[in-house]
Structure 1
Amino acid sequence: MSNSRSRIFRELLERPGLLLRPCGYDALSALLIEKAGFELMGTSGYAIAASAIGQPDLGLISFGELLERARNIINCVSIPVDVDADTGYGNALNAYWTAKNYIWIDAAGIRIEDQTWPKRCGHMNGKSIISKEEMAAKIRAAIRAREEEGSELVIGARTDARAIEGFEGTVERAMFYAQAGADYVYVECPQSLQEVARLVKSISVPLAFNLIAGGKTPNFALAELEDLGVKYISIPMICIYPAVRSILDALQALREGDLNRVGELGINWSQFNELIGVKRWRRLEEESAVR
């Protein structure tokens, strides 16, 4: 089962320069990411939990719900989608099954993390992590699933060790996960450019991490990260934070009775219909009519 989107993802990781991963949380945000011209996108478990059940990213949303949301996202775009697979939802067997399910819906990649379950957003306090050996077993299980399916699924390994074991423990785990076969290593919350530089030099695969406004990672400049050799940067809240701000502004304008302001804050009827492909569906409807 050769997966062309996974192959494209691999080619993007091998290409010179910094690869940005804007994250969506539903099919509409995915459409917007593709329309903006990005070559790849991710899913954000934090944003999906907030938008789907109105709750924080504390392991409250089920694998089935996340899988269905990912399926809808993948089906409405043509670009590769790198999926947040949390902890793999259990042990190595669960990671194996998780990888299989994401391969079957044409995910280009998955990222598994070394937190215990229930996990929480990486920028929250109170995290705990499994042993590096147990995490390596999950990576190998996901690789086995990929091989059995004849897929090219990109498998990323995330470590949250920085907040628990310190920087040296983080470096040790990053190296261990790369040796276990991860295609890239995603380090949650590096604290300085010096740490970033050390990580880049220490691992044999691309280094990735995320940037969140107000999060625990410093607000590094993208140019600085590219100069250091960072390959892959995820922006998990790029869609949901601006959406929340815009909705709040529109609702406030409505409370004040300012419908003109409401109109200025959003797109119009024809623009929205163009985005979701109304013309295409009407044309299909006409072509499919009983004659």
Structure 2
Amino acid sequence: MPVPASTRLRALLNDPSQIIVAPGVYDGISARLALNAGFGALYMTGAGTSMSALGVADLGLATMTEMKQNAEMIANLDRSVPVIADADTGYGATLNVARTTASYIAAGVAGFHLEDQVVNKKCGHLAGKQLVSKEEYLARIHAAVETRKRLESDIVIIARTDALQSLGLEESLNRLEAAVNAGADVAFLEAISTREELEAVCARFKGKAPVMYGMVQGFNAYKVTVQEAQAFGVQIIVYAAVCLTPSFLAVSQALKTLKETGDTEQYSGQGTPHKLFDACGLKELVDFDRLIADSIQN
């Protein structure tokens, strides 16, 4: 039997010499390009999923079904590469969180994060986020942990808090610590903007649980390289916008050029259809088709 992606992710987390670098992907081609670049883990961004699948900003409009379907497609492009997926708030009360957990397990997701915003959430780097009580947040974590146990899964549960903006650093760390004590595997403090905040979360969970860091370009996230993050003690670093932002910029420019000049030939030879097909597995598909045809003829 192949090793589950969740087991692979746990093996990486158990290696203190490793830092897991997961680029944010949101659709088939961004995931393919990240796999082709050789990354050993991927991160399915909720904001990217909302914008690519629904065409709307990340304001909690994507449903569990839509998020799970996208995560499942990405996770099954290459089952040897673990996918960490955004699971937002779990999409409701504890029974909804249990359903979300079971659905992500069935989809082949290696790990997912649950947060403490209200169900009508916002992107983690926007202002005006509202939180549920600590008790309700922990109920979500308990529901995910119990569902994992009942399904005999080892999916990695990541506790995320968005409390930094409104409740401050100490209460944020207290929430994460309570979540880890409730069975979460990884601590994720969202929207870190200073060195002191990053140092504090790494110090609090040293020897207790791995720390995940969200490096979001273009916001107020405290900027670190992969090497610097590892030196702080971070074990997972995700880059939610690393595919989304360049796509937005390049496609916007191409469309502007077409609208203004009636031509897009400046891209000639740089991204031919054949190159795009190759990036998305053309050779493997053709080889498989030929294999089946040959087996019938023989």
Q: TM-score, normalised by structure 2?
A: 0.91
Matched, 1:120 2:125: no
Matched, 1:261 2:244: no
Q: Displacement, 1:154? A: 0.4
Alignment of 1:1-291 (within 5 A): 4-15=4-15, 16-78=17-79, 79-203=81-205, 204-255=208-259, 256-263=261-268, 266-289=270-293
Q: Where does structure 2 lack aligned partners over 5 or more consecutive residues?
A: none
Distance 1:262 1:154 in 2: 42
Q: Displacement, 1:84? A: 0.4
Distance 1:58 1:259 in 2: 34
Where 1:189 maps in the other structure, the secondary structure is coil
Where 1:164 maps in the other structure, the secondary structure is helix
Distance 1:223 1:40 in 2: 17
Question: Match of 1:124, as an amino acid?
Answer: L
Q: Displacement, 1:229? A: 0.9
Where 1:51 maps in the other structure, the secondary structure is helix
Q: Where does structure 1 lack aligned partners over 5 or more consecutive residues?
A: none
Tell me, yes or no, if the aligned pair for 1:161 and 1:169 is still in contact at 8 Å: yes
Question: Match of 1:225, as an amino acid?
Answer: A
Where 1:252 maps in the other structure, the secondary structure is helix
Q: Displacement, 1:3? A: 5.8
Alignment root-mean-square deviation, CA: 1.9
Tell me, yes or no, if the aligned pair for 1:187 and 1:209 is still in contact at 8 Å: yes
Tell me, yes or no, if the aligned pair for 2:12 and 2:18 is still in contact at 8 Å: no
Tell me, yes or no, if the aligned pair for 2:21 and 2:226 is still in contact at 8 Å: no
Q: Deviations over 1:116-153 (max 9, x none)?
A: 01111000111111122221221121111111111110
Q: Displacement, 1:2? A: 9.1
Question: Match of 1:32, as an amino acid?
Answer: L
For these two proteins, the number of residue pairs brought into alignment is 290
Q: Displacement, 1:249? A: 2.3
Q: Percent identity?
A: 32
Distance 2:248 2:73 in 1: 21
Q: Displacement, 1:225? A: 2.2
Q: Displacement, 1:224? A: 2.7
Tell me, yes or no, if the aligned pair for 1:83 and 1:111 is still in contact at 8 Å: yes
Q: Displacement, 1:66? A: 1.2
Tell me, yes or no, if the aligned pair for 2:217 and 2:242 is still in contact at 8 Å: no
